[in-house]
């Protein structure tokens, strides 16, 4: 279960830097790019099972120290980029914590098998009609 955003904010750290791209003077002056850093091990609100599941599912996003980095630089405002980074982190955690239902194996129905065989027979008959007649 995900904690409230206020509890989540206690465990994350933010780094700001100048964003690249368009923006003229704003890009040169303002540090609007936000990098959110989240340590799964420091998250006291997750159980050990949840932490293991997060590490397993987000293994491609973890760095060598086990930190998740979420970067946002879409907006010209640092505040908006912070909010976007938080939203990105929450959605990442939500998707990683979802447990997939186990698939129940079922048999192929008899009617489906019969239908497939009937279509194969019809196809074979159609192709047989295209052949040149043999005079044996």
pLDDT, one tens digit per residue, over 82-111 is: 999 999 999 999 999 898 899 999 999 999
Sheet holding 33-39: strands in order across?
Answer: 12-17, 33-39, 67-72
Query: Is 31:78 a contact under the CB 8 Å cutoff?
Result: yes
Domain 5-97 belongs to what topology?
Answer: Double Stranded RNA Binding Domain (3.30.160)
Query: Is 33:70 a contact under the CB 8 Å cutoff?
Result: no
pLDDT at 4 over 80: no
**DSSP-derived 3-state class of residue 82:** helix
pLDDT in tens, 29-77: 888 899 999 999 988 888 999 999 999 999 999 999 989 999 998 888 8
- Those residues whose C-beta lies under 8 Å from the C-beta of residue 57, and which sit 6 or more positions away, are 95, 96
Total-model pTM: 0.70
Q: Are strands 12-17 and 67-72 parallel, antiparallel or unpaired?
A: unpaired
- Percent of the chain residues past pLDDT 90, beyond the cut: 59
pLDDT at 23 over 70: no
Domain boundaries, the chain: 5-97
């Amino acid at each position: 279960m995900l904690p409230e955003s206020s509890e989540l904010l206690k465990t994350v750290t933010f780094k700001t830097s100048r964003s690249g791209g368009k923006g003229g003077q704003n890009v040169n002056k303002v540090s609007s790019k936000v990098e959110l850093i989240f340590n799964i091990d420091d998250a006291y609100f997750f159980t050990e099972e949840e932490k293991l599941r997060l590490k397993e599912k987000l293994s491609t996003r973890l760095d060598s120290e086990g930190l998740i980095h979420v970067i946002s630089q879409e907006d010209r405002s640092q505040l908006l980029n912070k909010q976007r980074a938080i939203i990105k982190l929450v959605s990442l955690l939500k998707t990683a914590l979802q447990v997939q239902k186990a698939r129940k194996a079922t048999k192929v129905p008899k009617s489906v098998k019969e239908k497939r065989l009937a279509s194969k027979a019809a196809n074979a008959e159609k192709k047989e009609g295209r052949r040149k007649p043999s005079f044996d």
